Every structure is written in structure tokens, then in C-alpha cells.
């Protein structure tokens, strides 16, 4: 039946054809006759592979292979030079072969929802034109730092996975507008998320967040979703302050960091010859009260803010805690702030 359909279609030089839900367990070789095809759908079939004849369709821009029985991304897709939309949702794909990923550099949309992926190869950075990447309902535990090279990415969906952290390089996604992280195991968001300057929608519901990074205030969010997280509550308790004794490394780091504010400082010159030290100091944070930099010794606090009034979101996310770091109890005891110390359980 499908062969007859393709034979008849070849007489009309079609630009698209729909072979969805036809109980196919193979792609008919006759498809090679449809040289003008730009879009084809094979979704909802029983395909385990593609035929080599599909590589003759050099005009194909969109292929839908959703809801089939594929265990890998078919090699034949590597020979479709104009391919920019690829749907592979609902298969049994457990790994992305690096050589195939590298060959798909023209993709603008990649949908791999509902597969068995546990990791992404570093070669994902080859997809430099990608604008939409959806990896929902897989088994990802980490994202590679190379994901930060997807400079054109507008939407990233990694919901319903096993993520416990995000790479710092996610802050390089300057065009990212929508970030879906719901149903993972994230204990916190990266403080450098402020680097995603175009973010409008963030969904972190059903994770393990106790607070949000203070830097999220700098984003122009329209929507924030954070339901079903163990967010800190404003429940004051009494506490005792410990004596502050800085280790030698922390004390020295603070002196160096302070000296770096002076553009004529000799420290700036010397750091050029110590790349490891420069890398270590690059991780420094600033105290929310005195604005002095510190490295590792800090006091964790939260500030409770209205998501609508302070963050400007349009949906009702309620009052949320923002994570704030202070360099010392001395700064905490300055009375002109509304930060609460976080009590350890």
C-alpha cells in the first residue's frame, strides 16, 4: 500500500508526504523517486532503521521519526545536507553517536523526548545553528559543558531527567529564552544564570531547590514556576555566632582580590604568570553587604521577595527565597538589611 502511494506521488513531484501511522517496519525503497521532497513524516510506525535510498533526497529539510523503534540516530541522516528539523521522540535511543551528531550541523530543531539517553557527547557543540533542543523524559544525570556553545539556542527542555547540577557554561547561552528544568533533582540553580540575559521563562518545579540565586533578580523573567520544591520558609529561630577565623588561603585570597580593584596593582601583572591561581580567583563571590570579594569562607543567607513585585513575573509564583552570601558575621550584624541566616538542620 505504501509502495503504491509513493509510486503515485512520484508523478506529482510533491514537497511533503505523510507516512505516519501506516504500520511500517521498513521505509519503502521507492521513496528515492521523490527527489523534490522537503518534508516527510514516518511517526507512529515500527521502524528500526532507514533505507539507504533516503540519502538520495537531497532537498529534505524536515524528518519526523517520532514513536518508532529506533535504537540510535540513523546514519543515513548524515547525508541530508539541508536537514534542519529532526524529530526522534518516543524511540529507544540510548546514545548519540558523535560522528552522526557532527554531521547534523544544519539542525535548528532537535526533539529527542522520551528516549533512554544517559549523557550527551561533547560533539553536541557541533550543532551551532540549533535553536530548539528538547530532551525531556530521558535519563540524563549531567549536561556537558559544551552545551554552552549552542550560541543560537532559544529553548532548552531537559525536564523529567535525573539532573543534579547544571554546567556553569549554561550562562553562555545569551539567546536562551525558555529553560525547562522541572522534575529533576537540582538542589540549586547556578548563580551565573544571570548570563542568560534573554531568559523569559524558567520552570524548576518538582526539584530539590531550597532557594534561588540572588542574581536571578537581574533577569527580565515573564514566568517562573517553582512548585513542589522544599523552599526555605521565613521561620526565625535563635542561633549562636561562631568565632570567625579565616584560614591562611582565604585571608590571602581576600587581600589579593581587594588589590585587584586597583588597575595599577602589581598583583594584576603577577597573575598573568599563574593561570591556576587566576582560575581559582575567578570563582570568587561578592558579599551582598560590603561588596568585598571572598573565595570560600562565607555566611549563607536568604532574602524573601515577591516574585511579582521584585522579579516582575506575570504568573503567581508567590514569595520566594533568594540565596545571598555574606563574607562575615560582621556584615550580617549590620542592621540595614533584610537577610536571614540559614539555619542548618
According to DSSP, the β-strands at 132-134 and 155-157 are: parallel
User: In sequence order, what are the residues at sequence separation of 6 or more whose Cβ sits closer than 8 angstroms to the Cβ of residue 72?
Assistant: 93, 95, 97, 100
How far apart, in whole angstroms, are the C-alpha atoms of residue 246 and residue 256?
Answer: 15
pLDDT category, 281, cuts 50, 70, 90? Answer: confident
pLDDT category, 298, cuts 50, 70, 90? Answer: confident
Mean pLDDT score across all residues of the chain: 90
pLDDT for res 170: 96
The x, y and z cell numbers of residue 238, run together, are 535563635
Percent of the chain with pLDDT over 70: 93
Q: What distances in angstroms separate CA 276 from CA 76, 149, 246, 273, 283, one per listed residue? A: 45, 23, 22, 9, 12
pLDDT for res 283: 85
pLDDT for res 320: 93
The mean pLDDT value for 292-299 works out to 88
Q: Which CATH number fits domain 2-225: 3.30.365.10, 3.30.450.40, 3.40.50.720, 3.80.10.10?
A: 3.80.10.10
**Residue that is written with C-alpha cell 533542543 in the block:** 133
Most confident of 29-33, 145-149, 247-251, 267-271: 145-149
The mean pLDDT value for 198-221 works out to 96
pLDDT for res 277: 82
Q: Is the pLDDT of residue 17 over 70?
A: yes
Q: 225 near 182, Cβ under 8 Å?
A: yes
Q: In what order do the strands lie in the sheet with 212-213?
A: 212-213, 319-326, 299-306, 340-341
Give the predicted TM-score (pTM) of the model.
0.90
Most confident of 194-203, 237-246, 265-274: 194-203
Q: Would you call 288 exposed, middle or buried from its count of C-beta atoms within 10 A (0-12, 13-18, 19+)? A: buried
Q: State the span(s) of the chain assigned CATH 3.80.10.10.
A: 2-225
The mean pLDDT value for 93-98 works out to 95
Amino acid at each position: 500500500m505504501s509502495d503504491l502511494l509513493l509510486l503515485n506521488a512520484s508523478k506529482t513531484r510533491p514537497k511533503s508526504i505523510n507516512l505516519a501511522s501506516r504500520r511500517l517496519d521498513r521505509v519503502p525503497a521507492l521513496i528515492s523517486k521523490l527527489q523534490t521532497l522537503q518534508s516527510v513524516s514516518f511517526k507512529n510506525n515500527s521502524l528500526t532503521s532507514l533505507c539507504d535510498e533516503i540519502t538520495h533526497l537531497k532537498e529534505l529539510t524536515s524528518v519526523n521519526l517520532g514513536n518508532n523503534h529506533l535504537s540510535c540516530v540513523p546514519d543515513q541522516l548524515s547525508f541530508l545536507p539541508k536537514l534542519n528539523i529532526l524529530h526522534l521522540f518516543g524511540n529507544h535511543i540510548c546514545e548519540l553517536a558523535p560522528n552522526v551528531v557532527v554531521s547534523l550541523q544544519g539542525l535548528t530543531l532537535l526533539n529527542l523526548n522520551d528516549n533512554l539517553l544517559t549523557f550527551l557527547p561533547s560533539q553536541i557543540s557541533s550543532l551551532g545553528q540549533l535553536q530548539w533542543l528538547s530532551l525531556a523524559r530521558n535519563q540524563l544525570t549531567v549536561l556537558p559543558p559544551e552545551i554552552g556553545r549552542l550560541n543560537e539556542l532559544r529553548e532548552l527542555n531537559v525536564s523529567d531527567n535525573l539532573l543534579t547540577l547544571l554546567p556553569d557554561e549554561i550562562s553562555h547561552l545569551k539567546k536562551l529564552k525558555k529553560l525547562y528544568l522541572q522534575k529533576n533533582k537540582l538542589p540549586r540553580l547556578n548563580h551565573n544564570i544571570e548570563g542568560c540575559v534573554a531568559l523569559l521563562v524558567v520552570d524548576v518545579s518538582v526539584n530539590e531547590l531550597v532557594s534561588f540565586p540572588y542574581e536571578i533578580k537581574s533577569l527580565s523573567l515573564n514566568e517562573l514556576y517553582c512548585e513542589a520544591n522544599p523552599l526555605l520558609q521565613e521561620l526565625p529561630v535563635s542561633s549562636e555566632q561562631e568565632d570567625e577565623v579565616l584560614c591562611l588561603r582565604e585571608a590571602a585570597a581576600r587581600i589579593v582580590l581587594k588589590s585587584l580593584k586597583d588597575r595599577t596593582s602589581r598583583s594584576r601583572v603577577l597573575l598573568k604568570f599563574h593561570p591556576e591561581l587566576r582560575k581559582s580567583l575567578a570563582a570568587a563571590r561578592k558579599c551582598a553587604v560590603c561588596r568585598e570579594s571572598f573565595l570560600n569562607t562565607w555566611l549563607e543567607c536568604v532574602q524573601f521577595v515577591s516574585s511579582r513585585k521584585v522579579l516582575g513575573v506575570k504568573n503567581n509564583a508567590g514569595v520566594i527565597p533568594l540565596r545571598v552570601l555574606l563574607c562575615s558575621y560582621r556584615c550580617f550584624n549590620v542592621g540595614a538589611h533584610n537577610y536571614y541566616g540559614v539555619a542548618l538542620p
